Amino acid sequence: MLTSDSLITYFNAFFIFARLTLAADDEYTIGVGIADITGPITDINIMGYGKADQDASGLHFRLYSRAFVIIDSVGNRVCYVNNDLGMISTAVKQEVVKRVKNKFNGLYHEANLLLSATHTHGGPGGFLPYVLYIALAQGFNWQNFEAIVSGIIRAIERAHTNTRKGKIYYNQGELLDASINRSPTAYIQNPAAERAKYKHNTDKTMSILKFVDSSGKPMGVLSFFAVHCTSMNNTNKLITGDNKGYASMLFEKEMNPGSFPGKGPFVAAFANANEGDVSPNIMGPRCINTGDRCDIHTSTCESKEPRNQGFLQNEKCIAFGPGSDMFESTRIIGNRQYKKAKELFDTATEPVKGPTSFIHQYIDMSNVTIVLPNNKIVHTCKSAMGVSFAAGTTDGAGAFDFRQGATKSTPVWNIVRNFLKRPTPEMEKCHHPKPILVATGIMKRPYDWQPQIVPTQIVQIGNIVIVALPGEFTTMAGRRIRETVEAEFKRLAPSLKPHVLLAGLSNAYSSYITTFEEYQVQRYEGASTAYGPFTEEAYRQQYRMLAEKLITKQKINPGPSPPDLLDRQISLKAGVMFDGAPRGRRFGEVLYDVKPHYYPGNNVFATFISSSPRNDLKTEKTFLAIEWLNPKTKQWVVVSNDANWETKFFWNRTQFLLGESLATVVWEIPKHTEKGIYRIRIFGTSKNIFQKFSDYTGVSSPFKVMAPLHS
């Protein structure tokens, strides 16, 4: 017989059971956070194009880290962090993990923390621990590394301390006019039957996760769309988040009215996916010398110069975006991603349901044995880059232009070329048909040139499965991974029917991954597929295994540890020695002042006596402010800062030995700007010969913004 006591116990147990299994299955605890990760904005190579002389000399807009903490109903958590960076490096992930483990008592670790990157080609470099990726960046840059690592941790901390109950919704849709395939002659090598499954030669689907709290208030959005962040080309010298950074800015501005970029509660992240062969320069490549089409197989143009008549030049074949210049192209491609994400956000109704989980393993990509479907046994290879790697792409020609003597013009190359190794005959055979240019897998001096051990990871939030890819998978290579993971769920958890999303450029960087078929024609992406023709098969095998173990909840070993290369890093860029102002002048003084009045749409310029922006990165602050005089209060009110699209901060070293420099602020007066009195202010920190830092500020004369002219 049931006593009332045991009845109560029984009911309690039932309710706890019900809460764990039924009622709470679409309820999560969610936190979002954003933090500034802008590193040095001058005297540093811009990461992405591998162009030795593309050093930064200013800032268009700031770079951010955007974190999402998701805790399921029984307390399991995952943390997704998307970053305005070219990629995540092993060193960044390892250091973030080391520090967050201590800070949060092990709540966040290697396996439940996923770091991804937008792939902006407008951020400062020098944060990758392998020689190949910093050879053009004057070595490792500790200041940038620290700005990135500590910024990511601030974003995680903000998400962690702001968690509240909420729900997640999924939505997807097609974005057709923001991407093209930049290696269609490689894509076409894939089997016809496989290509026939898809309408397009790039993935046009944008997927989004919408985060709302339990009162229905929007908290954030995390979108995935495959496209290179190369709207800004390799002549750009300003630090920028490119098209995805701008898309984030637009979404956050809409949801955080009145807030400055990076300061509002709503966080909008635009992550990448299988973007390896996907360009935002949708007008496609053409010859800049003749206006003709480029040769489609080699992406070259015939020289018309009398001396080189008929010579094929890759640097003359350039792809252009939809805009009339690269800023406008960035604006258009960013706006299209924002608009689609916002539309999907507004119409998202499919709830995400189920527990969170994760799995992570390092894999030695230089030595994977693969059994092909026909039972043939093949292997991956020690890493090497092929000759076409040096040719670059139509988004940015000539990664390493040996012909023009890049070995002479960059100091790291000078040091390391003495260690350049001849590939072994086994390597040549293993990588066939790739002709090896740099045998990175056997180059250990001054330290490792390219990773051999890379992280693989899958993070699951109920019916959302996110595959973290440690490099740039081409469209078809990514599709194969996605279908492999989907197939494992179909086989082992058929009722779940998850959405499988790809997070490109996550946790580490190992260049490109093409399919076996694409590899055969050795376009840039094939030449940069580091572990040989079966690289993609090896990853497919690995992610199939990870998916199986994740679904069946089996423990796996962590895999081999990547080397910790941080204490081996070499920095070749000298620090700031000291700053000087010209005789009789002071820091912050206006050298070229504004004009008395302007109209909306005009550009306002002011140039100031400046110091090196490397003295203080103004993290979470600003190098400049556009101030408006409130006529009622007579107070100056900041209306725009260095993180806004409409401002640009240019910096110039004018006198090297005396440490003199100039800063020029440009404000492109937005169309809707109220008429009134404005001025430009700068903030700087100078360093004197005794190495003492002093903050200073400078202001332009006030100027009038007139009411728009109506014609």
Binding site per annotation, positions for Zn(2+)? 119, 228, 472, 512
Burial 131-152 (b: 16+ CB within 10 A, else e): bbbbbbbbbbbbbbbebbbbbb
Q: Based on the shown chain and the rule CB under 6 A, indicate whether residue 367 belongs to the binding site for ligand NAG.
A: yes
CA dihedral 398, 62, 167, 174 (to 10 degrees): -40
The CA distance from 253 to 338, in Å, is 11
Q: Based on the shown chain and the rule CB under 6 A, indicate whether residue 571 belongs to the binding site for ligand NAG.
A: no
Helix (H, G, I), strand (E, B) or coil at 334: helix
Contact code string over 108-147 relative to ligand NAG, x by CB under 6 A = ----------------------------------------
Structure tokens at 599: 């109209």
Peptide linkage before 285 cis (omega within 30 of 0) = no
Helix (H, G, I), strand (E, B) or coil at 34: strand
Residue 32: CB minimum distance to ligand NAG, A: 34
Residue 556: CB minimum distance to ligand NAG, A: 16
How many chain residues touch ligand NAG (CB under 6 A)? 13
Nearer to ligand NAG by Cβ, of 358 and 650: the residue is 650
Q: Based on the shown chain and the rule CB under 6 A, indicate whether residue 662 belongs to the binding site for ligand NAG.
A: yes
Residue 514: CB minimum distance to ligand NAG, A: 23
Q: Based on the shown chain and the rule CB under 6 A, indicate whether residue 612 belongs to the binding site for ligand NAG.
A: no
Contact code string over 592-611 relative to ligand NAG, x by CB under 6 A = ---------------x----
Nearer to ligand NAG by Cβ, of 183 and 234: the residue is 234
Residue 265: CB minimum distance to ligand NAG, A: 35
Nearer to ligand NAG by Cβ, of 30 and 301: the residue is 301
Taking a C-beta distance cutoff of 8 angstroms, is the pair 356, 463 a contact? Answer: no
Q: Based on the shown chain and the rule CB under 6 A, indicate whether residue 290 belongs to the binding site for ligand NAG.
A: no
Alpha helices in 184-309 (DSSP H): 184-187, 192-195, 242-255
Nearer to ligand NAG by Cβ, of 377 and 709: the residue is 377
Quickly tell me which residue has 């440009």 as its tokens: 666
Q: Which residues pair with 342 in a beta bridge?
A: none
Residue 378: CB minimum distance to ligand NAG, A: 13
CA dihedral 350, 351, 357, 362 (to 10 degrees): 30
Nearer to ligand NAG by Cβ, of 25 and 364: the residue is 364
Nearer to ligand NAG by Cβ, of 233 and 356: the residue is 233
Nearer to ligand NAG by Cβ, of 442 and 662: the residue is 662
Residue 367: CB minimum distance to ligand NAG, A: 4
Residue 89: CB minimum distance to ligand NAG, A: 23
Alpha helices in 494-608 (DSSP H): 516-519, 524-527, 535-551
Q: Which residue is nearest to ligand NAG (CB)?
A: 325
Judged by CB under 6 A, the chain residues 51 through 110 that form the site for ligand NAG are none
Q: Based on the shown chain and the rule CB under 6 A, indicate whether residue 234 belongs to the binding site for ligand NAG.
A: yes
Helix (H, G, I), strand (E, B) or coil at 521: coil
Q: Based on the shown chain and the rule CB under 6 A, indicate whether residue 318 belongs to the binding site for ligand NAG.
A: yes
The CA distance from 443 to 439, in Å, is 7
Nearer to ligand NAG by Cβ, of 318 and 530: the residue is 318
The CA distance from 139 to 130, in Å, is 10
Q: Based on the shown chain and the rule CB under 6 A, indicate whether residue 652 belongs to the binding site for ligand NAG.
A: yes
Q: Which of 56, 92, 159, 326 binds ligand NAG (CB under 6 A)?
A: 326
Q: Based on the shown chain and the rule CB under 6 A, indicate whether residue 655 belongs to the binding site for ligand NAG.
A: no
Q: Which stretch binds ligand NAG (CB under 6 A): 230-238, 460-468, 535-543, 670-678?
A: 230-238
Calculate the alpha carbon distances from 549 to 76, 115, 340, 493, 502 in Å: 17, 22, 35, 12, 18
Nearer to ligand NAG by Cβ, of 57 and 529: the residue is 57
Count other Cβ atoms within 10 Å, centred on residue 364: 16
Q: Which amino acid is at 146?
A: E
Q: Based on the shown chain and the rule CB under 6 A, indicate whether residue 233 belongs to the binding site for ligand NAG.
A: yes
How far is C-alpha 557 from the chain's CA centre? 29
Residue 326: CB minimum distance to ligand NAG, A: 4
Residue 620: CB minimum distance to ligand NAG, A: 25
The CA distance from 519 to 384, in Å, is 13
Judged by CB under 6 A, the chain residues 235 through 274 that form the site for ligand NAG are 235
279 is catalytic: yes
In sequence order, what are the residues at sequence separation of 6 or more whose Cβ sits closer than 8 angstroms to the Cβ of residue 163? 29, 30, 31, 69, 71
Q: Which stretch binds ligand NAG (CB under 6 A): 91-99, 170-178, 223-231, 233-241?
A: 233-241
Please enumerate, by residue number, every residue annotated as part of a binding site.
Answer: 119, 228, 472, 512
Q: Based on the shown chain and the rule CB under 6 A, indicate whether residue 664 belongs to the binding site for ligand NAG.
A: yes
Nearer to ligand NAG by Cβ, of 188 and 662: the residue is 662
Residue 615: CB minimum distance to ligand NAG, A: 18
Taking a C-beta distance cutoff of 8 angstroms, is the pair 480, 518 a contact? Answer: no
Q: Roughly what angle, to the nearest 10 degrees, separates helices 242-255 and 326-346?
A: 50
What's the full length of the chain, in residues? 711
Q: Based on the shown chain and the rule CB under 6 A, indicate whether residue 650 belongs to the binding site for ligand NAG.
A: yes
Q: Which residues pair with 636 in a beta bridge?
A: 629
Q: Based on the shown chain and the rule CB under 6 A, indicate whether residue 186 belongs to the binding site for ligand NAG.
A: no
Q: Based on the shown chain and the rule CB under 6 A, indicate whether residue 566 belongs to the binding site for ligand NAG.
A: no
Positive/negative CA dihedral, 398, 399, 402, 407: positive
**DSSP per residue, 425-491:** HHHHHHHTTSPEEE-GGG--SSS-SS-SEEEEEEEEETTEEEEEPSSEE-HHHHHHHHHHHHHHHHH
Q: Based on the shown chain and the rule CB under 6 A, indicate whether residue 325 belongs to the binding site for ligand NAG.
A: yes
Judged by CB under 6 A, the chain residues 445 through 474 that form the site for ligand NAG are none
Residue 497 buriedness (CB in 10 A; 0-12 / 13-18 / 19+): exposed
Cα diameter, the chain: 105
Structure tokens at 545: 């295994």
Catalytic residue among 279, 357, 366, 383: 279
Provide the binding-site residues for ligand NAG, judged by CB under 6 A. Answer: 233-235, 318, 325-326, 367, 369, 607, 650, 652, 662, 664
| Catalytic center residues | 279
